[in-house]
Structure 1
Amino acid sequence: MSKNPFRLVECPRDAMQGLHDFVPTQLKSAYLNLLLQVGFDTLDFGSFVSPKAIPQMADTAAVLAQLDLSNTSTRLLAIVANLRGVEEAVKHKEINYLGFPFSVSETFQQRNTNSSIAQSLTTVEEMLSLCDKNDKTAVLYLSMGFGNPYGDEWNYEIVEHWADILISKGVKILSLADTVGVSTPEKITSILPKLISRFNHTEIGIHLHSTPTERVEKIAAAYDAGVKRIDSALKGFGGCPMAADDLTGNIATEDVITFLNSKGVNLNLNMDKWNEAMILSSRIFG
């Protein structure tokens, strides 16, 4: 068995954010505290965004106050969508990473963050400065990275163009995000090796959405492409509520675990705590 070279990012925030019924803060915290004990590299636990836009995440600060970080090596990531969210997130010393969704689709950038690509680039610059001053690391999600349903132009050159600009401004972690489930194994194995090769001093990850029948082939493609940072969510719950009416779920973490185990990767995860989280998840997701 080899030492685990992968950064697994568990995304309960992404899984919960589109739920219609509000999940009580105490239940959210109990679920997250179990996931913190599993041993993931990073936990995408909440977001500092408008409660009108994402009501489910209105209690992120209250949830954070209930998290037990005394016996975990897992680092916390919070999503932000504007400068106000950045300024709120950097106040919390417990948070390690700030994630920002930067779309190569103008239509989706407006839909997701209520700002243009140009305005969002200014926000990214300000976020990078605030992260440096507050000992945080920015994670940029290059959303609509595999295409979009809005008719906006998409090709690999556009993806590479924006990756180049963001990295030149100081982004150290870039995650190519599918958002609407249009990625294919062919696109993954075509795009990711080029990005990883060109930006070899940047951590390039992947955040895929998928139907259940296509999950494993996409995980296998990411593995073959050399991706070492993988976002996923327990049971594949969730999807982006700002993207479409019919949500395409996340990649299921259990599929990632099973696949990597089959490749002889020692993930060093506490599967007892994982199983407890699986059981508790039914109270959140039904």
Structure 2
Amino acid sequence: MSSVRIVEVGPRDGLQNEAVLLPTQKKVELIDRLADAGLREIEATSFVSPQWVPQMADHADVMRRLVRRPGLRYPVLTPNLRGYQTAVASGAAHVAVFTSASESFARKNINSSIEESFARFAPVFEAARADGIPVRGYVSCAIACPYEGRVAPERVAHVARRLVEAGCYEVSLGDTIGVGTPATVMPLLEAVAAVVPLERIAGHFHDTYGMGIANVHAAYEFGVRVFDSSVGGLGGCPYAKGATGNVATEDLVYLLKDRGIDTGVDLDRLVDCAVWISQQLGRPLASRVGRALQCAAA
């Protein structure tokens, strides 16, 4: 049986754009519920400035309150050395850095050029190597940019290769504004896989136009075996107006289960978690599978 690694990004990427500020203990409960459902890699928080992302202001408290479980990873986002140091002091053992394939988006999202972003997290790689901490990389706007339009696959490949050369064990390609289709995802993967080993590529798709799960399927057919997703379809980006949430983890698990692919996730418990967090945030459940299973149970 084939297997796929799921990186659950709900507690970080999912919550960061929500207007409702979730209490710290509720964030910890969300992570615990996700772990109870069988997820083994849960992005816990982001060590960014609270000025830019108020939802993540309690990052250190979240990490300190987590009940660590054997075999589980709780990666966190660390945009610079200060964020990295605070994260490690709070107990983080896996970190991630992020940049963009679009200059305009990089300046809006991280207040720097792409080149400056690499200079900013170079000390993070140095410190992580010394500490023995793995570093993951994110590339935003891998399909298109809200300011520049379509992004050439070769530009994405260039940034992805630099991340791997800098020390990333894996690079997640993000369709930040959710405009991708299989027809645009395939050329992207071909370009990146030409310069980065396929086993080090992850897919991070948003569902703005309802194409997220179709893009996952296309990427799986290409050979990608790592996907980011967010419980309940939570997500969005404060610097990409109109972009909706990530591919819902429930939808992803349903697709993979139907194909006989092992995820280790209990779909019923996952849907319960999706319903719960949606209620906490006062928003409707976004995932199609979650809604369908709710209706079937009614």
Q: TM-score by structure 1 length?
A: 0.91
Distance 1:203 1:256, change over 3 A: same
SS of the residue aligned with 1:101? strand
- What's the counterpart of residue 134 of structure 1? 131
Match for 2:255 among 243, 255, 259? 259
- What's the counterpart of residue 24 of structure 2? 25
Taking only aligned residues, the RMSD between alpha carbons, in angstroms, comes to 2.0
SS of the residue aligned with 2:21? coil
1:192 to 2:189 alignment: yes
- What's the counterpart of residue 226 of structure 1? 223
Deviation at 1:148, TM superposition (A): 0.9
Show CA shifts across 1:183-241 (max 9, x none).
21111122214423542276110111113632321221121121111000112111111
- What's the counterpart of residue 66 of structure 1? 65
1:90 to 2:93 alignment: no
Deviates more, 1:270-279 or 1:23-32: 270-279
Question: What is the alpha-carbon distance in structure 2 between the residues aligned to residue 284 and residue 196 of structure 1?
Answer: 40
Match for 2:151 among 154, 158, 162? 154
Deviation at 1:104, TM superposition (A): 1.4
Show CA shifts across 1:146-167 (max 9, x none).
1212127731221122222222
Amino acid at match of 2:13: D
> Residue 48 of structure 2 contacts residue 83 of structure 2 at CA under 8 Å; is this kept in 1?
yes
Distance 1:96 1:187, change over 3 A: farther
Show CA shifts across 1:115-143 (max 9, x none).
22121111232111111122211111011
Q: Which ranges in structure 2 are unaligned for 5 or more consecutive residues?
A: 283-298
> Residue 90 of structure 1 contacts residue 134 of structure 1 at CA under 8 Å; is this kept in 2?
no
> Residue 232 of structure 1 contacts residue 252 of structure 1 at CA under 8 Å; is this kept in 2?
yes
Q: Which ranges in structure 1 are unaligned for 5 or more consecutive residues?
A: none
Match for 1:237 among 221, 228, 234? 234
- Number of paired residues? 281
Question: What is the alpha-carbon distance in structure 1 between the residues aligned to residue 42 and residue 33 of structure 2?
Answer: 11
> Residue 231 of structure 2 contacts residue 250 of structure 2 at CA under 8 Å; is this kept in 1?
yes
> Residue 174 of structure 2 contacts residue 203 of structure 2 at CA under 8 Å; is this kept in 1?
yes
SS of the residue aligned with 1:230? strand
Q: TM-score by structure 2 length?
A: 0.87
Percent identity of equivalent pairs: 32
Deviates more, 1:267-276 or 1:255-264: 267-276
Amino acid at match of 1:261: K
> Which runs of structure 1 show a deviation greater than 4 angstroms over 4 or more consecutive aligned residues?
none
Match for 2:113 among 111, 116, 123? 116
Amino acid at match of 2:137: L
Deviates more, 1:248-257 or 1:165-174: 165-174
Distance 1:266 1:96, change over 3 A: same
